[in-house]
Copies of this chain bind each other. A is one copy, B any other.
Amino acid sequence: MTGPTVRTVGLLGAGVIGGGWAARFVLNGIDVRVYDPDPDAPRKVAEMLDNARHAQGRLTLAPLPREGSLAFVEDVEAAVAGADFVQESAPERVEVKQELLATAAAAAGPEVVLASSTSGLRPSLLQASMPSPERLTVGHPFNPVYLLPLVELCGGTRTAPETIERAAEVYRSVGMHPLTVRTEIDGFIADRLLESLWREALWLVAEGTATVEEVDDAIRYGPGLRWSVMGTFLTYRIAGGEAGIRDFMAQFGPALEWPWSRLTDVPELTDELLATIERQSDAQAAGRSVRELERLRDDCLVDVLQALRAQDVGAGATLGAWETALLGRAAPADDTATPLRLHETSIRPAWIDYNGHATESSYLRMAGDATDALLRLIGVDADYVAAGGSYYTVETHICHLRQATAGERVHVTTQVLGADEKRLHVFHRVLRSEDEAPLATVEQMLLHVDADAGRAAPAGADVLAHVLALADAHRSLEQPDRAGRRIEMPDRARQPLG
């Protein structure tokens, strides 16, 4: 994967889904041209883009490409003109979508794939009255489109296989996980599952068994946590214990005959039921606006995605692959005249202590990561370590200057204060990236060792040359105020210490 395979995307419709597409494409460096008759669309999309920027900024430390442009145009033809790819996200009315897609297909270049964001309408229906219907596929995303990787692909009877392949390539290049639905079916896969759960949820509220908040709590405190990690079948395989899925099916198969789900009928959306849902939903939102709720949801989703990335599981693996692609595209920096900037990260949720701040050892961890990066820079690589050479930290002095909270982006700068054939004396600054405010300083003395012999030993010639050159280059830098400090109580400040 070498980057987006499109330069310009035409978007038809810019509601919650279309606006989410706009954000995902723009933040991946793609120019976007949007048609939406709603005069408020530019404002709404701008607000979503703001939320998306905030989320992406927290999501990854990989260098994001320069943002693509965002233009609102007057008609379908102008949105499609010059576009390499078209994404339609109009309301779920089949005649509206049919007309939009027919107009777009007539105006688009002959190679351009058109994808519909429909939640469940069959593509065969959407392509019915369209010129070159072989270029139409469903590309069904999930809200928020700029964070959730899933996109379902589904072709109609007249869709060409290359259309699906092209769409998958485009979506993968912007960090998504395409899932091809092999049989055309109403609602595809995910929305059939969602719709089943949703219909049951409506029954629970319609019959007064539970409020909307109780339904939501029954999900998010329990099974919903699992669903972010594993789907329903793998979850149940584990629930079967050592005997596995067969045992689970034998144990819970009988429940399929029991009235554990309505699954027989659909509640009617009476005015009374709608009023109940609205009243309960307002209570649940507790005065928070949709934008505030979106921000909260996104902050959580970012942290969940990062949590899964650490385990290389599911959506976290997708995130990791996208970051690797981004990193592969970035030009390496090279600069020895200033303190080195070798490590960037964000404050992980796991590092937060009961005061709500990053725990003290996390600063040493970040500094240690910067030291590791420095060692790689001077040639202490896997081969060097395998041959027995390494630097061990023998002494560390930390000054804590400011607190940091979860999600804040930070970076570490590293200054070499001195070196000889065995020693390497470094000074790290852990800085909040937003405003370069220092959070901590970490001074360290490292000793080169022969790990096999278990004692200090001179560094190898190449490594030593690199170390001494760095120390020389950094000699002109200002000595940090906090270097060489000792810890002492004020009243003993003047007493010599052994």
Contacts and interface: CB of A to CB of B under 8 A. Distances in A.
B214 A189 contact: yes
Contacts of A479: 498
Contact of A489 (B225, B239, B423): B423
A469 interface: no
B148 A221 contact: yes
A128 interface: no
A4 interface: no
Among A152, A307, A488, chain B packs the most CB atoms within 10 A around the CB of A307
A231 interface: yes
B486 A238 contact: no
B445 A487 contact: yes
Contact of A307 (B217, B307, B403, B451): B307
B261 A264 contact: no
Interface in A166-224: 177, 179, 181-183, 185-204, 207-210, 212-224
B148 A222 contact: yes
A234 interface: yes
Contact of A481 (B219, B230, B490, B498): B498
Nearest to A444: B487
A315 B255 contact: no
Contacts of A313: 296, 300
A274 B304 CA distance: 33
A411 B119 CA distance: 48
Contacts of A201: 193, 232-233
A212 B228 contact: no
B249 A274 contact: yes
Contacts of A133: none
B277 A299 contact: no
As for how many copies of this chain the complex holds, the number is: 2
A218 B152 contact: yes
Contacts of A143: 226, 235, 238-239
Interface stretch (A108-116, A361-369, A431-439): A361-369
Interface residues of A, number: 180
Interface in A347-400: 349-350, 352-355, 359-362, 364-365, 368, 385, 390, 392-400
Interface in A129-187: 142-143, 148-150, 152, 177, 179, 181-183, 185-187
Contacts of A259: 186-187
Nearest to A347: B310
A37 interface: no
A231 B246 contact: no
Given A396-B397, A397-B486, A350 B306 contact: yes
Nearest to A405: B310
Nearest to A355: B390
A344 interface: no
Interface stretch (A66-74, A78-86, A95-103, A278-286): A278-286
Contacts of A398: 364, 395-398
A223 B44 CA distance: 23
Contacts of A91: 251
A199 B488 CA distance: 68
Interface in A477-497: 479, 481, 483-492, 497
A232 to B, nearest CB: 5
Given A119-B255, A219-B232, A260-B187, A226 B407 contact: no
A209 B186 contact: no
A7 interface: no
A183 B239 CA distance: 27
Given A396-B398, A489-B423, A195 B255 contact: yes
Contacts of A228: 220, 224-225, 227-229, 300, 304
15 contacts: A92-B251, A120-B255, A186-B258, A189-B215, A192-B262, A195-B261, A196-B263, A197-B197, A229-B301, A245-B278, A300-B307, A359-B368, A394-B400, A395-B487, A425-B489
Closest 8 CB pairs of A and B: A216-B231, A150-B222, A224-B227, A303-B307, A187-B260, A310-B349, A310-B406, A228-B228
